[in-house]
C-alpha cells in the first residue's frame, strides 16, 4: 500500500526511517517530485528501477544536502566549483567522475564511472536530506517514459501500490527538471536543458574567467560519445498523441495555448496567457496530465501552441519534442 501524507517534521522522520530500511519514498523538490531510495543500497535502488519500469542502463541522480558532501562523491573540478557556488542549492545537476571511495551503489550510476549530483533548494527536501544523512537516489517519480510529476497526485496516479510513501508538499515551484551539466572533462557539456538556462550558465562561467561555450549533448552523441543515457527520444509521453506548434485547434484536439493563442477543447488550458515563460514551465507537466486525462477514445490528441526557444524555453521545447516523438523509438536513440 502507498500512503500519501502532508509533508511535516513528523512525516519526514517517517520517510527517513523507510529510506534507512531500504524502502521507496516520493518527495517534492523545487523542480519535480523525486522517487527516493538510499543511493548506497543497491537493493533499495533496484526497487526504483522496478517501480518505474526504468531500463537499468539509465543512471539516477544522487541528491545531497550541500556541495561539500557532493564533492566527497564526485571529483571536484574548476567548472563544478564555480557552478556549485552560484547555483546550489537549486535546479542544477552536475555530472562528475566518481571519487575512488564513493559509497554510492554502482546500480545508481548504472555502472558508469560518472555520478550525477544535485543539491535541491526545496526547504522540505533539504530537511529530508539533512535528517537522512545519506545520499538519496531519485529520478522523477513517474513510470519510465511518461509525463513527470509536479504534484503528489501525479505521483499517486502513476506509482500507487509500487512505493511505500508519498510526501505531499503541494505543486512544485519550477515544474521542470534540473539542468544537467557534465563538468568532468575539459569543457562543460549541457546534457539536459532545464530550470537554469544555457545563457545563465555561460555568463557565470565567463565572469569566473572560465571562457568556454557549453558543449552540446547532441553533438557528442553524433560523434558516438555517451551522453545522458536517459535522454530517450520518446519521453514525457502522454497516452494521447501530441502535435507541436499548433496555432489553432483541429477536430476534437485538446489545444494547450500560450500567449496570444488561446487554449481550446474541453479545458481551454493556457500555459501562460500573458506569455510568461517561467509560468509556462511551471504549468507544463500539470497541463499535459490534465489534457491527457480529458481526451478519450482511440484517437486521443493534444496540440500545443508554439513556445519561444530562448532562456528556459529551450528546456520546455526539449520536453515537448520528446512528448511528441514516435512512441516506439529504439532505446538506442539516446538524444
Region of 7-15, 44-52, 139-147, 178-186 interacting with Mg ion (CB under 5 A): 139-147
Q: Using CB under 6 A, pick the residue from 143, 229, 308, 313 that binds ligand TXA.
A: 229
**Residue 180 binds: one of Mg ion, ligand TXA, none (C-beta under 5 to 8 A by kind):** ligand TXA
The footprint of Mg ion on residues 261-290 (CB under 5 A) is none
Residue 73 beta carbon to ligand TXA: minimum distance, rounded to whole angstroms = 11
The footprint of ligand TXA on residues 265-294 (CB under 6 A) is none
The Cα-based distances of 135 to 117, 124, 148, 177, 278 in angstroms read 9, 15, 22, 19, 29
With binding defined as CB under 6 A, does residue 52 bind ligand TXA? no
Lookup result for grid cell 566518481: 98
Residue 28 beta carbon to ligand TXA: minimum distance, rounded to whole angstroms = 9
- Window 117-156: contact mask with ligand TXA (x via CB under 6 A): -x-------------------xxx----------------
The Cα-based distances of 84 to 48, 62, 102, 114, 334 in angstroms read 27, 15, 19, 17, 27
The footprint of ligand TXA on residues 19-38 (CB under 6 A) is 29, 31-32, 34
User: How do beta strands 25-27 and 165-168 pair?
Assistant: parallel
Q: Using CB under 6 A, pick the residue from 11, 93, 197, 270 that binds ligand TXA.
A: 93
144 burial level (CB within 10 Å; 0-12, 13-18, 19+) = middle
The Cα-based distances of 53 to 15, 59, 142, 323 in angstroms read 22, 13, 10, 18
Q: Using CB under 6 A, pick the residue from 4, 75, 112, 157 that binds ligand TXA.
A: 112
Closer to Mg ion by CB, 109 or 140: give it.
Answer: 140
C-alpha of 35 from chain center: 11
With binding defined as CB under 6 A, does residue 60 bind ligand TXA? yes
Distance CA 266, CA 300 (A): 13
Distance CA 122, CA 135 (A): 16
Torsion angle of C-alpha atoms 195, 196, 199, 204, degrees rounded to 10: 180
Q: Using CB under 6 A, pick the residue from 26, 64, 82, 95 that binds ligand TXA.
A: 95
Instruction: Please provide the DSSP assignment of 132-152 as one string.
Output: H-S-EE--BSSSTTBPPPSSH
Distance CA 228, CA 141 (A): 18
For residues 303 and 226, is the Cβ–Cβ distance under 8 A?
Answer: no
Distance CA 250, CA 258 (A): 16
Closer to ligand TXA by CB, 40 or 191: give it.
Answer: 191
Q: Using CB under 6 A, pick the residue from 88, 114, 163, 181 that binds ligand TXA.
A: 114
Residue 311 beta carbon to ligand TXA: minimum distance, rounded to whole angstroms = 17
**Residue 116 binds: one of Mg ion, ligand TXA, none (C-beta under 5 to 8 A by kind):** ligand TXA
Region of 14-22, 134-142, 181-189, 237-245 interacting with Mg ion (CB under 5 A): 134-142
Distance CA 146, CA 149 (A): 9
Distance CA 263, CA 22 (A): 44
The footprint of ligand TXA on residues 192-211 (CB under 6 A) is 192
Region of 13-21, 112-120, 150-158, 161-169 interacting with ligand TXA (CB under 6 A): 112-120
Size of the site for ligand TXA (CB under 6 A): 29
Q: Using CB under 5 A, pick the residue from 58, 140, 150, 292 that binds Mg ion.
A: 140
List residues near ligand TXA by CB under 6 A: 29, 31-32, 34, 58-61, 91, 93, 95, 109, 112, 114-116, 118, 138-140, 177-178, 180, 191-192, 228-231
List residues near Mg ion by CB under 5 A: 140
Amino acid at each position: 500500500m502507498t500512503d500519501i501524507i502532508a509533508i511535516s517534521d513528523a512525516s519526514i522522520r517517517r520517510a527517513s526511517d523507510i529510506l534507512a530500511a531500504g524502502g521507496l519514498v516520493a518527495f517534492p523538490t523545487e523542480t519535480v517530485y523525486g522517487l527516493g531510495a538510499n543511493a548506497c543500497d543497491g537493493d533499495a535502488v533496484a526497487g526504483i528501477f522496478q517501480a518505474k519500469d526504468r531500463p537499468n542502463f539509465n543512471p539516477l541522480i544522487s541528491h545531497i544536502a550541500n556541495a561539500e558532501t557532493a564533492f566527497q562523491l564526485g571529483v571536484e573540478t574548476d567548472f563544478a566549483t564555480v557552478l556549485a557556488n552560484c547555483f546550489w542549492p537549486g535546479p542544477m545537476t552536475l555530472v562528475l567522475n566518481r571519487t575512488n571511495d564513493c559509497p554510492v551503489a554502482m546500480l545508481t550510476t548504472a555502472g558508469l564511472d560518472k555520478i550525477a549530483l544535485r543539491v535541491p533548494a526545496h526547504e522540505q527536501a533539504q530537511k529530508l536530506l539533512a535528517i537522512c544523512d545519506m545520499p538519496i537516489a531519485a529520478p522523477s517519480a513517474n513510470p519510465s517514459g511518461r509525463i513527470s510529476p509536479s504534484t503528489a497526485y501525479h505521483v499517486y496516479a502513476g506509482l500507487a501500490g509500487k512505493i511505500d510513501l508519498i510526501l505531499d508538499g503541494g505543486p512544485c515551484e519550477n515544474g521542470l527538471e534540473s539542468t544537467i551539466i557534465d563538468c568532468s572533462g575539459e569543457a562543460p557539456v549541457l546534457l539536459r536543458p532545464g530550470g537554469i538556462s544555457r545563457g545563465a550558465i555561460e555568463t557565470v562561467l565567463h565572469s569566473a574567467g572560465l571562457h568556454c561555450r557549453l558543449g552540446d549533448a547532441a553533438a557528442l552523441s553524433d560523434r558516438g560519445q555517451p551522453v545522458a543515457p536517459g535522454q530517450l527520444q520518446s519521453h514525457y509521453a502522454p497516452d494521447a498523441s501530441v502535435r507541436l506548434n499548433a496555432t489553432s485547434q483541429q477536430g476534437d484536439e485538446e489545444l494547450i495555448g500560450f500567449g496570444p493563442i488561446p487554449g481550446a477543447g474541453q479545458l481551454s488550458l493556457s500555459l501562460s496567457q500573458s506569455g510568461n515563460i517561467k509560468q509556462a514551465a511551471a504549468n507544463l507537466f500539470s497541463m499535459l496530465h490534465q489534457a491527457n486525462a480529458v481526451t478519450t477514445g482511440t484517437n486521443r490528441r493534444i496540440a500545443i501552441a508554439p513556445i519561444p526557444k530562448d532562456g528556459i524555453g529551450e528546456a520546455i521545447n526539449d520536453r515537448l519534442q520528446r512528448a511528441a516523438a514516435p512512441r516506439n523509438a529504439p532505446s538506442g536513440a539516446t538524444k
